A = this chain, B = another copy of it.
Amino acid sequence: MKSIHDLETPVVLVDLDVLERNIARMAERARTLGVRLRPHAKTHKVVEVGRRQIAAGATGLSLAKPSEAEVFAEAGFDDLFIAYPVVGADKARRLLALAERLRRLAVGADSVEGASTLAGAFRAAGRTLDVMLKVDVGLHRVGVLPERAPEMARRLADLPGLRLRGIFTHAGHGYGEETPDGVAKVARHEGRTMAAVADELRRAGLAVEEVSVGSTPTAREAMAQPGVTECRPGNYVYHDGSQVGLGTCTAADCALTVLATVVSVPAADRAVVDAGSKTLSSDPLRPHAAGFGQFPGRRSRIQRLSEEHGVVVVEGGESFQVGERVRIIPNHACVVSNLHDRVIGIRGESVESELIVAARGRVR
């Protein structure tokens, strides 16, 4: 059997034992709480990983863009949610084609301007599109504030061609919290706020079938809040340095690592590996920026990146040799996936499979 020592570097490794454990744990949490799990596939973008999530009990997948959803529809997934405010006539045509092949489809919306184009296209085709209203529980990216949700939900529900399925949020501001307690507080607020918004919508006579929360750091607590019906974590399949930093997991739970080679040791306190921003991305470590990659068991980190160079500041007492191979835990696994056409599935040091990152680069 081929070993990781036979692989050319840099290369992305996925430890399948850790992956399976991560998938099982989140599925178990959702099952215990009676919440539907709809993982965000952006983290892996791999059909086979999505299939493992469904096999473990997920009801469907979340995606960010129609082109990502097309990849999973093509592979036979039949219940997809595009967790993004989809806008434009060209996108509406793609959604129509998706709706015709899927058992269930929903998309995000946070404005009448955006949703009305989709509504018009579906109405003209004699179809109805499920939409989920995006609610902003504190990230301040997209979505309406909770107090504006009833009005916007009503306006979306009134658009012929649309059906309001429910509400969704993403508490990405949890990534800025400095302690696990801070993250848990964000998570409880996320779940409770969404449940309260849903209740208000129902009092206003609107049907709210789905109350959906998200994000790997907040998932376990947010889905425990009464009234939450669905959870959409993505990163948990792989985890990464930021999840370790946030206290979501330990380094042993990181399924995705990068195998690299030391190509230069130009000074006693500096080594350079062949993995730069083209391999690791330049995303910062969360919650506190601290370099661009960690080596399990060593204090030295990649402190500077250019496209093909990772510059390690060598801590006292540690050393790196030209030609030495090193394993790196990246800051952000999702963006690493998006940089590579293939990742290598391993068990221990044995290479088991090559996984095609089929939805890589699908930005439209």
Residues of A within 8 A of B (CB): 8-11, 42, 64-65, 84-88, 90-91, 110-111, 113-114, 117, 136, 140-145, 172, 261-267, 270, 272, 274-275, 277-279, 281-284, 304, 306-309, 311, 321-323, 334-335, 338-341, 361, 363-364
CB distance from A69 to the nearest CB of B (A): 13
Tell me which residues across on chain B come within 8 A of A110, comparing CB atoms. Answer: 264, 266
The 14 sampled A-B contact pairs (Cβ below 8 Å) are: A9-B364, A85-B272, A86-B263, A87-B323, A113-B322, A113-B323, A136-B266, A142-B272, A142-B309, A274-B363, A275-B363, A278-B363, A307-B334, A308-B363
A261 touches B87 (CB 8 A): yes
Which residues of chain B are within 8 angstroms of A323 by Cβ–Cβ distance? 87-88, 113-114, 117
Q: Is the CB of A84 within 8 A of B263?
A: yes
- A278-B361, A361-B339 known; A114 and B84 CB under 8 Å? no
Residue in chain B with minimal CB distance to A113: B322
CB of A358, distance to nearest CB on chain B (Å): 13
CA distance A307 to B272 in the complex (A): 27
Q: How far is the CA of A308 from the CA of B307 in the complex (A)?
A: 21
Please indicate the chain B residues that have their CB under 8 angstroms from the CB of A90 in the complex: 8
Tally of this chain's copies = 2
Most chain B CB inside 10 Å of its own CB: which residue of A136, A172, A274: A274
The minimal Cβ–Cβ distance linking A110 to chain B, given in whole angstroms, is: 5
Are B113 and A321 in contact (CB-based, < 8 A)? yes
Task: From known contacts A264-B114, A281-B282, A283-B277, infer whether A141 and B309 are also in contact, taking CB-CB under 8 Å.
Answer: yes
Q: Which chain B residues border A144 with CB–CB below 8 Å?
A: 266
Interchain residue pairs A-B with the least CB separation, the first 5: A113-B322, A142-B264, A87-B263, A64-B308, A85-B263
Contact across chains for B322 and A263 when beta carbons are under 8 A apart: no
**Residues in chain B near residue A267, CB distance under 8 A:** 140
Interface centre among A8, A9, A270 (most CB of B within 10 A): A8
Provided the pairs A263-B114, A308-B64, A334-B307 are in contact, do residues A8 and B364 lie with their beta carbons within 8 angstroms?
yes
Q: Which residue of B lies closest to A91 (CB)?
A: B8
Shortest A263–chain B CB gap in Å is: 5
A88: B residues at CB distance < 8 A: 8-9, 261, 323
A281 touches B274 (CB 8 A): no
A11 vs B261: C-alpha distance when bound (angstroms):
34
Residues A64 and B307 in contact in the complex (CB < 8 Å), given A266-B143, A361-B278:
yes
Residues of B within 8 A of A281 (CB): 277, 281-282
Q: Which B residues touch A114, using CB under 8 A?
A: 263-264, 322-323
- Nearest-neighbor residue (CB-CB) of A148 within chain B: B266
CB-based nearest B residue for A321: B113
